[in-house]
């Protein structure tokens, strides 16, 4: 019988395609540390995100491909991930250790931006990714309440140590300012606060930093989106026409500063009656999808109106943590996976061919 060789293993694995990156997993450099011990083959399969939506499918395909080599006994696949860093953008200083910054925005207030930011962050962290959340809504910081945080961060020299909740590193103006004193920021001051939140907080190594923006698409948001080194933006909208017209402005804002739009989220899409399960489309429905088609940006999905979301927000326990097995948590998880996959694709898309690393 022929010996099993490294080459044969790689040849077999080169039949496995990554559906998002549309290349085989060997040329993408995802197969590492192939070891052959008698009849048994083991290797590491390094995905571009631990939140990969097709993780299980790829694992099965890889295992089956190697099992088909004549003479192979046990196949041991170790699934792993290494999140690619966002491209650097001219004139923007990257944040040390932070691979990808995702801005969550909305044209209109109160559509559920902070809720979406928090639950996407926890859903990403749950997969094993290193995640932070930056509450850049300095006027009305809600993230501390939504994560049940009520403490002052420590400082280290002139740097700030972020607080932690549910495995997320968190920074918010709410930690620094008195809750009952409204803050009045003028443009330049606000800009400097955000710069400090980005560069003076000890974020450590993060795969994703989710930034919750204040509502609207005015100068303030524009200056953040313009100066922040962003991997991309997510736009949250509710389905009614007034919100949708503001969502369009959100699309324009990101386009104007050439920040990729990672997707549109439609929140409060429908109410599922807890008694009979009937769906009622309180704010109409489907508008988020229409906008995404019109502007050719990905649609990340619909989140129902769910009383548990509101309770979780008020009690400091996001629904993804409070009811991880419920349908709404599953929606957030699916969105987080799509988002992560989209970021990986963008980061790797037009890079030079990846060197084979085995």
Ligand X SMILES: Nc1ncnc2c1ncn2[C@@H]1O[C@H](COP(=O)(O)OP(=O)(O)OP(=O)(O)O)[C@@H](O)[C@H]1O
Is 146 in contact with 319 (CB distance < 8 Å)?
no
Of 180-188, 239-247, 282-290, 298-306, the window that binds ligand X (rule: CB under 6 A) is 298-306
User: Taking the complex as a whole, how short is the minimal distance between the CB of residue 60 and ligand X, in angstroms?
Assistant: 34
Q: Is 318 in the site for ligand X (CB under 6 A)?
A: no
Q: Is 111 in the site for ligand X (CB under 6 A)?
A: yes
Residue 162 or 216: the one with the smaller Cβ distance to Mg ion is 216
Of these, 303, 329, 340, 341, which contacts ligand X (CB under 6 A)? 303
Nearest-CB residue for Mg ion = 114
User: Taking the complex as a whole, how short is the minimal distance between the CB of residue 12 and ligand X, in angstroms?
Assistant: 46
Token look-up 């070891």 returns: 35
What angle do the packed helices 55-67 and 6-13 form, to 10 degrees?
A: 130
Of 27-35, 62-70, 220-228, 309-317, the window that binds ligand X (rule: CB under 6 A) is 309-317
Q: Is 306 in the site for ligand X (CB under 6 A)?
A: yes
Query: Out of Mg ion, ligand X, none, which partner does residue 71 contact, by CB within 5 to 8 A per kind?
Result: none
Is 22 in contact with 345 (CB distance < 8 Å)?
no
User: Taking the complex as a whole, how short is the minimal distance between the CB of residue 137 and Mg ion, in angstroms?
Assistant: 5
Of these, 71, 97, 109, 187, which contacts ligand X (CB under 6 A)? 109
Query: Out of ligand X, Mg ion, none, which partner does residue 228 contact, by CB within 5 to 8 A per kind?
Result: none
Residues 204-223 that bind ligand X (CB under 6 A): 215
Of 104-112, 152-160, 257-265, 279-287, the window that binds ligand X (rule: CB under 6 A) is 104-112
Q: Is 310 in the site for ligand X (CB under 6 A)?
A: yes
Distance CA 185, CA 296 (A): 35
Of these, 50, 53, 107, 112, which contacts ligand X (CB under 6 A)? 112
Residues that bind ligand X (CB under 6 A): 106, 109-115, 137, 140, 142, 215, 267-268, 303, 305-306, 309-310, 313
């Amino acid at each position: 019988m022929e010996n099993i060789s490294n080459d044969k293993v790689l040849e077999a694995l080169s039949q496995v395609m990554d559906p998002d990156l549309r290349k085989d997993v060997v040329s993408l450099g995802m197969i590492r540390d192939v070891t052959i011990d008698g009849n048994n083959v083991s290797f590491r399969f390094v995905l571009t995100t631990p939140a990969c939506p097709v993780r299980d499918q790829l694992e099965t395909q890889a295992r089956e491909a190697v099992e088909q080599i004549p003479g192979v006994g046990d196949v041991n696949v170790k699934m792993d991930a290494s999140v690619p860093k966002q491209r650097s953008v001219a004139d923007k200083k990257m944040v040390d250790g932070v691979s990808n910054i995702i801005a969550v925005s909305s044209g209109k207030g109160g559509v559920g931006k902070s809720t979406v930011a928090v639950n996407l962050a926890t859903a990403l962290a749950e997969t094993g990714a290193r995640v932070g959340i930056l509450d850049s809504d300095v006027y009305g910081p809600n993230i501390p309440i939504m994560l049940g945080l009520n403490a002052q961060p420590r400082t280290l020299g002139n740097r700030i140590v972020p607080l932690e909740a549910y495995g997320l590193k968190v920074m918010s103006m709410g930690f620094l300012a008195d809750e009952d004193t409204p803050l009045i920021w003028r443009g330049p001051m606000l800009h400097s606060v955000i710069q400090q939140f980005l560069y003076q907080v000890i974020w450590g190594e993060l795969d994703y930093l989710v930034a919750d923006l204040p509502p609207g698409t005015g100068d303030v948001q524009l200056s953040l989106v313009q100066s922040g080194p962003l991997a991309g933006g997510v736009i949250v909208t509710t389905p009614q026409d007034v919100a949708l017209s503001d969502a369009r402005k959100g699309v324009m804002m990101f386009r104007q500063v050439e920040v990729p739009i990672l997707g549109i989220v439609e929140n409060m899409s429908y109410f599922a009656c807890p008694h009979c399960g009937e769906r009622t489309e309180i704010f109409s429905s489907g508008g988020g999808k229409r906008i995404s088609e019109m502007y050719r940006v990905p649609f990340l999905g619909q989140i129902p109106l769910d009383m548990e979301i509101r309770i979780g927000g008020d009690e400091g326990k996001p629904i993804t943590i409070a009811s991880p097995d419920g349908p709404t948590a599953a929606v957030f998880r699916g969105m987080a996976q799509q988002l992560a996959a989209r970021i990986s694709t963008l980061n790797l898309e037009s890079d030079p061919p990846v060197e084979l690393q085995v």
